[in-house]
Amino acid sequence: MRALLLPIKDLRNAKKRLVGALTPEERFGLAQAMLADTIRAVRGVQRAEKVFVVTNYDPAMLVAEENGWEILPEEHQVSESDSVDAASRLCELRGVTGLLRVPLDVPLVQAGDIDDLLAVECEAPALVIVPSRDGMGTNAILRMPPALFPSHFGVGSFAKHVGEAERVGARVIFRRNTRLEMDVDDEADLRLLLKNDLSGTETGRWLRESGVETRLRSHLKAGAMGAR
């Protein structure tokens, strides 16, 4: 059985690398919008037999209940790696043979992107991994079995995860996907996101209605004029 795992932290503390570019209220609004886009994509996934949500954030639990997804409640959150690893062990005990962790800050993601990863055929032990745009981070990770090796989300996680897989003798399968690789961590990411088609996304709607898009575009224009 292959399943999805959504690790959802308290969005009020999200996107701290955008301090200075966005107000606390704007960071919260952006995080909510990107989560909404991820939820929209996950609702359309066909190949996941189950969806698990690991969280201690009440609004996330409500979303999980509304969609019939299984909640793995946390008393407190230490890090995404700890949350994912604890959830992975539970999922493995419940008969999950392959678990795909999907990030929550990839507003361009579509259901088909997730299904394509779940459809990869290979025997365990195996790792299917999608890097970040710069090749340093991990933007999607499918482990078979789920607790194949510990998580190392953060700086340099891609190389760490590949190294862990090789250490335990697992097959490593690389996948590239521009939508999954378009995560938003800092202001440069936001500026790059605006170069994409955001029609139909909650993130695009929020950026327009909040005034953040206009502000960022005006800064880009001013910077371009100053460079002349």
- Give the pLDDT confidence score for residue 220 in this predicted structure: 59
CATH pick for 2-186 out of 3.30.460.10, 3.30.930.10, 3.90.550.10, 3.40.50.2300: 3.90.550.10
Average pLDDT over every residue of 102-106: 91
Instruction: Judge whether residue 224 has pLDDT over 50.
Output: no
Most confident segment among 8-17, 73-82, 195-204: 195-204
The pTM assigned to this predicted structure is 0.92
Q: Higher confidence at residue 97 or residue 17?
A: 97
pLDDT tens-digit profile of 20-62?
889 999 999 999 999 999 999 999 999 999 999 999 999 999 9
The pLDDT value given to residue 225: 44
pLDDT in tens, 195-222: 999 999 999 999 999 999 999 888 655 5
The whole-number average pLDDT for the span 94-100 is 97
pLDDT at residue 127 greater than cutoff 80:
yes
- Cβ atoms of residues 214 and 194 within 8 Å: no
Residue pair 193/213 in contact (Cβ under 8 Å)? The answer is no
- What does the mean pLDDT of the chain come to? 93
Domain ranges of the chain: 2-186
pLDDT of residue 14: 85
What pLDDT score does 16 carry? 86
